């Protein structure tokens, strides 16, 4: 007897986005299951960022659907998706440079919890309880992302790798079910890249499913269970890192770009 296939955590069907006459993403379907780490790769201009932004809710699709845990979220704005359990990081780091590492997390958590200014002004008992809970969450995600020693340092004094980890910590503070990582290894040296790989694996181990867009092949191949490859807005391959690395179409699009840039 075969059971029903498990419901994907997030599923995009025939997702399409046009900018004027340019179809940046053309009928791309993609499913990510709970517990997976999935990578979205492709050469420059392939449509990765466009696809990512549609999944995160910051860009409306021209056609197609997105379901999260079976619920249609195609038209749900980013904050609504965040409430349902989808968190994202940004390609360009979005931390507040003048706040400490811990206060960056606290600030983001206040925003997502919508803690009221009235309660905070009068420091009600409920507000103080909330404060203690937010502090506990901040300390837990800081330790998780190897940032405990940097908790009281201003974000602009962090190394680039630490800032990228802070982005992940901020996203985790919202206790998401799905974490969307937008080029998390961009600008990292190999050592920092490996550290990030370790953290992404730990993220999955704490029950958070991961979808990442990434150029850094060593990171993608080292951390993903499954990889989806886009080129010119279309899905050209999907498989394990080994399958994708050996796929003739994938090799062709990557080699073609390298030769064009040589």
Ligand X SMILES: Nc1ncnc2c1ncn2[C@@H]1O[C@H](COP(=O)(O)OP(=O)(O)OP(=O)(O)O)[C@@H](O)[C@H]1O
Residues that bind ligand X (CB under 6 A): 19, 22, 24, 42, 44-50
Task: Choose between 1 and 22: whose C-beta lies nearer to ligand X.
Answer: 22
Q: At its nearest, how many Å lie between ligand X and the CB of residue 44? A: 4
Distances (CA, A) of 165 to 74, 101, 145, 199, 244: 29, 10, 6, 8, 28
Q: At its nearest, how many Å lie between ligand X and the CB of residue 42? A: 5
Q: At its nearest, how many Å lie between ligand X and the CB of residue 200? A: 19
The beta strand positions in the chain, using DSSP E, are 10-19, 22-32, 37-41, 63-68, 71-72, 86-88, 178-182, 209-213, 226-231, 234-239
Which residue's structure tokens are 């440079």? Answer: 97
Task: Choose between 35 and 45: whose C-beta lies nearer to ligand X.
Answer: 45
Task: Choose between 47 and 61: whose C-beta lies nearer to ligand X.
Answer: 47
Q: At its nearest, how many Å lie between ligand X and the CB of residue 91? A: 8
Which residue, 50, 44, 42, is CA-closest to 15? 50
> Two tokens at 18?
């046009």
Contacts of 122 (CB under 8 A, 6+ apart): none
Q: At its nearest, how many Å lie between ligand X and the CB of residue 186? A: 10
Q: At its nearest, how many Å lie between ligand X and the CB of residue 255? A: 17
Which residue, 235, 212, 181, 227, is CA-closest to 64? 235
Task: Choose between 172 and 211: whose C-beta lies nearer to ligand X.
Answer: 211
Instruction: Note the maximum CA span of the chain.
Output: 64
Q: At its nearest, how many Å lie between ligand X and the CB of residue 59? A: 8
Task: Choose between 186 and 245: whose C-beta lies nearer to ligand X.
Answer: 186
Task: Choose between 18 and 175: whose C-beta lies nearer to ligand X.
Answer: 18
Is residue 42 a contact partner of residue 253, using CB atoms and an 8 Å limit? yes
Is residue 210 a contact partner of residue 200, using CB atoms and an 8 Å limit? yes
195 HSE (CA, 13 A, CB side): 16
Task: Choose between 49 and 62: whose C-beta lies nearer to ligand X.
Answer: 49
């Amino acid at each position: 007897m075969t059971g029903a296939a498990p419901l994907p955590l997030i599923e995009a069907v025939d997702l399409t986005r046009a900018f004027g006459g340019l179809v940046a993403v053309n009928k791309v379907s993609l499913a990510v299951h709970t517990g997976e780490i999935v990578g979205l790769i492709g050469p420059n201009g392939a449509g990765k960022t466009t696809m990512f932004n549609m999944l995160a809710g910051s860009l409306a699709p021209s056609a197609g659907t997105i379901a999260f845990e079976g619920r249609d979220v195609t038209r749900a704005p980013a904050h609504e998706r965040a409430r349902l359990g989808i968190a994202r990081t940004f390609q360009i780091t979005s931390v507040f440079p003048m706040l400490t590492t811990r206060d960056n997390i606290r600030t983001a958590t206040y925003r997502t919890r919508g803690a009221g200014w009235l309660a905070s002004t009068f420091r009600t008992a409920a507000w103080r309880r909330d404060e203690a809970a937010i502090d506990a969450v901040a300390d837990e995600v800081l330790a998780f992302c190897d940032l405990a020693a940097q908790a009281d340092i201003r974000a602009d004094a962090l190394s680039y790798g630490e800032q990228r980890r802070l982005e992940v910590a901020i996203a985790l503070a919202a206790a998401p079910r799905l974490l969307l990582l937008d080029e998390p290894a961009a600008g990292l040296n190999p050592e920092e890249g490996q550290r990030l790989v370790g953290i992404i694996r730990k993220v999955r181990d704490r029950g958070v499913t991961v979808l990442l867009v990434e150029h850094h092949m060593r990171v993608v191949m080292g951390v993903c269970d499954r990889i989806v490859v886009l080129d010119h807005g279309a899905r050209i391959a999907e498989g394990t890192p080994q399958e994708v690395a050996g796929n003739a179409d994938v090799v062709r699009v990557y080699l073609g770009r390298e030769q064009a840039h040589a």
